[in-house]
Amino acid sequence: MTERDLVLVGFGNVGRRFVRLIDELRDRLEQREHASFRVIGLATGRHGSMFDPRGIDGARACAVVEAGERLLPGAFSSTSGVACRDAFDVIARAAASSPGGRAALLETTTLNVEDGEPAASHLIAALDAGVHAITANKGPVACRYAEIAARAARARRTFRFEGAVMDGIPVFNLAREALRGVEVTGVRGVVNSTTQFILAEMERGVSFEAALAEMQRKGIAEADATLDVDGWDAAAKIAALANVLMDARITPADVDRTGITALTPGDLREAIDAGERLRLVGSARRVAGRITARVAPTRVPASELFAQLPGMANALTYETDLLDEITVIQGGGGLVQTAYALLSDLLSLPAPE
C-alpha cells in the first residue's frame, strides 16, 4: 500500500471536490490501486491555512469553508493542527514531516495567464523541498513549464498537470505513457467550452451578449469572461500543450490570438451557408524549427469533426510522425473531471523512497 500525505493549496470548488472524491473512492483506491491518501495541509485564500501531520478531516474542512468560517483559529482549534502563515509555510512543514517523496502538493489556485503566479511559486517551493507537485492550473504550464520541469528533475520529484487541459481527459498522460517514441509534430483543438457554447447559440441567431449572459446566469462562464471570449484560456492551453509535447518555450502572450467578441450572428450564418462552421480553433506547429501557435475563429468544413462536436465538447488532435493523426474527444467536463485529473496525477507518482 502506497500512503501519501497531501497538501492542498487553493481550496475552492476543485480542491473541495477532490477531497470529497478521494473519500468517495477510498475503497476502490485501496483495493485496486493500493493507494491511500491523507490530507495534512490546507492553504486557503480567505479561511486560513493549517497543518496537521495526523491528518485533517477533509469533509469537515469542506463544510467549514462552505459555511464561510475559518479553519484555524476556528473550527479545527480542538485538533492537533497548527495554524500556518501561508501556503509556503504549509508546504515547508509538510516537507519536513513527510520526507522521501511521500508528500504531494495539489495546487488549485486561480488562473493567471501572464506569469502563472502564485501557482508557479507554490510548485517550485514544493519541488525544491522534495515534495511532488501537481496542479490543475494551466498558468504555470503555459508560462513556465521548462523551468518547473527542470526544478523537478533536479529535486528528483515529479511535476504533473493533467487537469490543465480538457479536465480529466488524459491529454498529457496519453502522450507521455502511450506515445513513447512518437514525435508530436503539431496539435490543434477546440479547447474552450464557453466559446463553444456561445458560438452554438449565435448560430441559432442569439447575440453574443445574450449568449454570454446566459452562460453567466448558469454559472458556467465567470462573471469576468474575458479570459474565455478573448481567447486567453485557449491560448494558455495551446501554450501548455506546445511546451510539454513539442518542447516549445512559449507563453500565452506568444500565441497569435483572436477572440470571438467581434463575431456577429451574420458571420456564423455566412459560414453555414458556405458549408462550414466557425469555431475557436487553437493550434501549434513546428515550422522550420520554430513553433508557431495560434488561436482564432476558424472556418471548418461542416463535415469535419471540429464542426460536429456536440454541446460543449472539446477535442484535441495530435499530429504525429508515426501514427498519422489521433483525436481525443471529451464528452463531458466539469468539477469531478478536474478533480479526477489531480487524482490521476497522484496515482502516476513514483513510489516513495
Interacting residue ranges for a copy of itself, rule: CB under 8 A = 21, 25, 28-29, 32-33, 167-170, 173-174, 177-183, 303-305, 308, 310, 317, 322-333, 336-337, 340, 343-344, 347-348
- The least distance separating a copy of itself from the CB of residue 285, rounded to whole angstroms, comes to 16
- The least distance separating a copy of itself from the CB of residue 305, rounded to whole angstroms, comes to 6
- How far CA 89 is from CA of 48, 50, 196, 272, in Å, comes to 12, 9, 40, 55
C-alpha cell belonging to residue 22: 478521494
Distance CA 139, CA 123 (A): 11
- The least distance separating a copy of itself from the CB of residue 249, rounded to whole angstroms, comes to 18
- The least distance separating a copy of itself from the CB of residue 335, rounded to whole angstroms, comes to 11
- The least distance separating a copy of itself from the CB of residue 73, rounded to whole angstroms, comes to 36
In the complex with a copy of itself, the residue whose CB is nearer, 27 or 273, is 27
Residue whose entry in the numeric block shows the C-alpha cell 469553508: 65
Give me the helix-helix angle, 58-66 and 13-24, nearest 10°: 150
Closest CA to 198 of 179, 219, 173, 215: 215
Determine which helix (DSSP H) or strand (DSSP E) holds 329, and give its type and residue range.
Answer: strand 325-330
- The least distance separating a copy of itself from the CB of residue 140, rounded to whole angstroms, comes to 21
116: alpha, beta or left, given left = phi > 0 and alpha = psi -120 to 50?
Answer: left
Q: Number of C-alpha atoms within 13 angstroms, CB side, residue 296?
A: 10
> What residues act catalytically?
237
CA dihedral 99, 4, 132, 338 (to 10 degrees): -160
Strands 184-190 and 35-43: unpaired
In the complex with a copy of itself, the residue whose CB is nearer, 29 or 111, is 29
- How far CA 314 is from CA of 72, 213, 250, 267, 333, in Å, comes to 40, 21, 23, 22, 9
Total length of the chain: 353
Distance CA 212, CA 282 (A): 20
In the complex with a copy of itself, the residue whose CB is nearer, 59 or 305, is 305
